[in-house]
Amino acid sequence: MSSKFARAWIATTAAALLLSGCSAAASAPTGGQPSGAPPAASGSPGATAPASRDLAVGAFTPANGVSGRVAVESADGALVLTLDSFHSGADQLRLLLVDADPAELASCVPEAAATASVGGTPGGPASRFPFASASELGSTVPRFAAVVVVRQHRDGDPDCTEPVVAVAPLTWS
């Protein structure tokens, strides 16, 4: 992904998250369904939950108090990030989907790689974060390389947005 496209993606996704009530500093996830459960249905009592399927999966190697599994799902054309058995220790953290090689993310997330923020520290065994709608995605789904957990502050380095706490490389189906 080019740096120009990454910055445009950041702006688009950040705006969508703010409009949906899920800011980068949010401390409560949307959802909280058990692992593998479809999202809650909305509308009338007869409404059915939207169909979803895993597009990519990964796991955090336990580090710095962070552990758990992650999946990028497609639900009615939108992307949703699902965390399962996720533990974040005592820190307020932020989750990013990045297009950089996970091996390159040793200590910080480069500005151009900070593709999209999807929420704050989840509270519970399973959490779901809306990431992008079908209209924002168009006909292609970006194949992000990893989900990265970062601390919620800037460290002053102009080439590094925030220090990396843990990385979960993604395997796409």
Give the chain's domains with CATH numbers. Answer: 3-19+26-33+52-172 (2.60.40)
Answer whether residue 153 shows pLDDT above 50: yes
Element (H, E) at 165: strand 160-169
Q: Is 139 exposed, middle or buried (0-12, 13-18, 19+ CB in 10 A)?
A: exposed
Q: CA nearest 37: which of 46, 50, 56, 47? A: 50
pLDDT class for 169, splitting at 50, 70, 90?
very high
Answer whether residue 82 shows pLDDT above 80: yes
Q: Residues 9, 1: contact at Cβ < 8 Å? A: yes
pTM: 0.61
Biggest CA–CA distance in the chain, Å, is 52
pLDDT, mean over the chain: 65
